[in-house]
Amino acid sequence: MARAKVVALHSFNDDEALMWLSDHVDGRVETSLSELAQQFGWPLTRLRRRIAAWVEAGLITKASGGTGRIVLAPTRSSRETAVQLVGHAFSIAAASPASAQRPARSVIGVITACLLVLTALGLTAVGLVMNARFAASFGQTAEAAILLAGIGLAVDLLAVTLPSVGVQLWHRRSILAAAATWTIWLAVLTLTLLAAMGFASTNIGDAVAGRAKIAGERALAAERIEQLRSERASIAEMRTVAAIEVELQRAQPEAQWVWKMTDGCRDVTRPASARACATVLDLRQAQAAAARRDAIDTELRDVQSKLAALPAVTMADPQATTAAETVAWLSAGTFNPAPEDVARLRALGLALMPSLAGLIGMLALALARRG
C-alpha cells in the first residue's frame, strides 16, 4: 500500500506512531528512515531507537527494501492495534489522573519569565516610539512624516516578533522558512540599529553640546575672576576717587606758575616744571589707580554673579570622560581610550538594547514553558 501523504502538525508520541503504522491494513509500509522521521516529527536517532524497541517487543516487523528503504509491518491488524492503544491510553488516564498532570513550573522560573516579558514589552515600547519619532523627523510634510513613522513601526515590530517566529519554524523543521525568517530579522535589525543610533546620537549630542557650552562659560568666567583678582591685588591704593580729587584740587595752586605752560601739568618737559607738578602728577596717578580698582571690583562682582547663576557643570560629558579615565587607570595605561570612543560605545549600547526585545521575549517564552 502506498504511504499516505500526511504532514504531521505536531510531533507524534509512541502511541500515535504505532497507530499510524497500524492504519496500513495490508501489513506493509515501505519508506526511508528520513521520510518516516519527518512524518513522525522525530529526530533520526529517536526513530532508530523506537523501531528497534518495537521490533524487539514484537509489535512490528522490519525488513530491508531497495535503495536504502525499509519495509515495516504491524504484527496485528490495524483495528486491534488501535483499540488496544486507545484503551491503554484511557486506562492510564482513569487509573492515575495525577500522573497525567503536567510538571509544575518553578516559582523562580515563573518570576524570571514575567520579568523578562515586562522587560521585553518595555524595550518594545521604547523602540517603537524611538524609531517612529526618528523616522518621522525626516518627513518634509505631515503625510511624509506619517508614512515614515509607519515604516519605522513596521520595522521595529518585525525586529521584535521574528526571533520567536524563527524558533517556532525551526522546531517544526521548516528549515528554509526559519532561515528566511532569521535573514529578514538581520536586515530589520540593521535598520532598527541605524534608527536607534541616530535617535540616541542626536539627543545625547544635543545634551553634550549644551553641557559643553555651560562648561565653557564657567571656565571663561573662572579664568576672568582669577585675572581680576590678580590685578586687584596689585593695586595698593586705598583712597576713594573723590578723596583723591579733593587732594588734587588743593595741590593745583602749587603748580599755578607752570599750569598754563604745561597744559595743566600734562605736558611737562623741564625739570623745574616736573618739580612743580610732582604732587599733581602723583595724585592723578593715584586717582587712575583708584578708578581702575573700582572698575575691577564692579566687574568682579558681575562675573561672580554670572558664575553663580550658571549650572554646576564642569565637563561636557562626565560619563565618557570618567569611563575613559577609569579604563586607563585599571589597565595601568595599557588601554587609553578617548572619551569619544566611550561615547560611541554608549550610543551603540543604547541603540542595541531596544533591538534585543525580540530575543528577550523569546527567552521568556522558552522559560515559561512547562518541563
Share of the chain above pLDDT 90, in %: 12
Q: From CA 242, how far away is CA 271, in angstroms rounded?
A: 29
Give this prediction's pTM. Answer: 0.49
Domain boundaries, the chain: 14-100, 107-371
CATH class of the structural domain 14-100: mainly alpha
Q: Which residues contact 49 (CB under 8 A, 6 or more apart)?
A: none
Q: What is the pLDDT of residues 206-242, one digit of tens each?
A: 888 888 888 888 999 999 999 999 999 998 888 898 9
pLDDT above 90 for 295: yes
Predicted confidence band of residue 26 (pLDDT cuts 50, 70, 90): low
pLDDT above 60 for 88: no
Which set of grid coordinates corresponds to residue 206? 544635543
Predicted confidence band of residue 79 (pLDDT cuts 50, 70, 90): very low
Alpha helices in the chain (DSSP H): 14-22, 33-40, 44-57, 78-95, 107-136, 142-171, 175-233, 241-251, 271-309, 318-330, 339-355, 357-368
pLDDT above 50 for 157: yes
C-alpha dihedral sign at 326, 329, 331, 337: positive
| Identity of the residue numbered 128 | L
pLDDT above 70 for 90: no
Rounded to a whole number of angstroms, the CA Rg of the chain reads: 45
